[in-house]
Structure 1
Amino acid sequence: MYAIIETGGKQYRVEPGKILTVEKLNADVGSQVDIETVLAAKNEAMFKVGQPYVQGARVRATVLEHGKGRKIVVFKYKPKKNYKKKQGHRQPFTRIRIDEIVF
């Protein structure tokens, strides 16, 4: 059994028990979240594809932690013009565990 979900502008293939790092969600650590943007779902008997989402399908997940990713350096410059700009960025994330897929 698996499902393809959309969260944070990205798509993920999830199965029960899988641990996933997604864009930051507004939920407390230890709480459960329902992701209802299910694009496709499959179990032993059937395969459903949504247009764009599968009606009545949802994925229940538990929030494990929040954090920040690795730092990336953004460096801009213009040659011969004495213009330099250095910035760092750390993208926030949420780590979740998939509990069940319902459809």
Structure 2
Amino acid sequence: MYAILETGGKQYTVKAGDVIYVEKLDVEADSTITFDKVLAVGEEGNVSFGAPYVAGAAVDGKVIKNGKGKKITVLTYRPKKDSKRKMGHRQPYTKVEITAINAAK
């Protein structure tokens, strides 16, 4: 069974046992979380779509850790003006392991 869920403005296709990196959530490590914005739930030949979400469907997950991604360097400059600025950025994320997919009954 698989599900398509929405969190942090992005959509993820998940199965039980998958590990996904989502936008940072306000939860502690080793806690459980339930995603209720499920766009579709299905298995082989039987898929149900929501409008926009499937009523009663939920995806359960376990938060493994909160962290930051690798640093990216942003360099802005103006040619021939001797003006430049160097910045770094590390995007925060939450690592979640999907434990169960609950389809609508």
Q: TM-score, normalised by structure 2?
A: 0.93
In structure 2, how many angstroms separate the alpha carbons of the residues matched to 1:94 and 1:53?
23
**Which amino acid in the other structure matches residue 48 of structure 1?**
S
In structure 1, how many angstroms separate the alpha carbons of the residues matched to 2:25 and 2:100?
18
Question: Unpaired runs of 5+ in structure 1?
Answer: none
Runs of 4+ more than 4 Å apart: none
**Count of equivalent residues:** 103
In structure 2, how many angstroms separate the alpha carbons of the residues matched to 1:48 and 1:3?
10
> CA offset at residue 44 of structure 1?
5.1
In structure 2, how many angstroms separate the alpha carbons of the residues matched to 1:83 and 1:39?
47
> CA offset at residue 8 of structure 1?
1.0
Render the CA deviation track for 1:26-48: whole Å, top value 9, x for unaligned: 11111100001111100357311
Q: Report matched runs for 1:54-69 at 5 Å.
A: 54-69=54-69
Alignment match, 1:19? 19
Identity of aligned residues (%): 49
Alignment match, 1:29? 29
Render the CA deviation track for 1:48-79: whole Å, top value 9, x for unaligned: 11111111111000000111001001110000
Question: Unpaired runs of 5+ in structure 2?
Answer: none
Q: TM-score, normalised by structure 1?
A: 0.95
* CA-atom RMSD in angstroms: 1.1
Alignment match, 1:5? 5
Alignment match, 2:70? 70
In structure 2, how many angstroms separate the alpha carbons of the residues matched to 1:22 and 1:64?
12
In structure 2, how many angstroms separate the alpha carbons of the residues matched to 1:45 and 1:33?
28
Render the CA deviation track for 1:69-97: whole Å, top value 9, x for unaligned: 01001110000111101100000011010
User: Which secondary structure state, in structure 2, belongs to the residue aligned with residue 70 of structure 1?
Assistant: coil
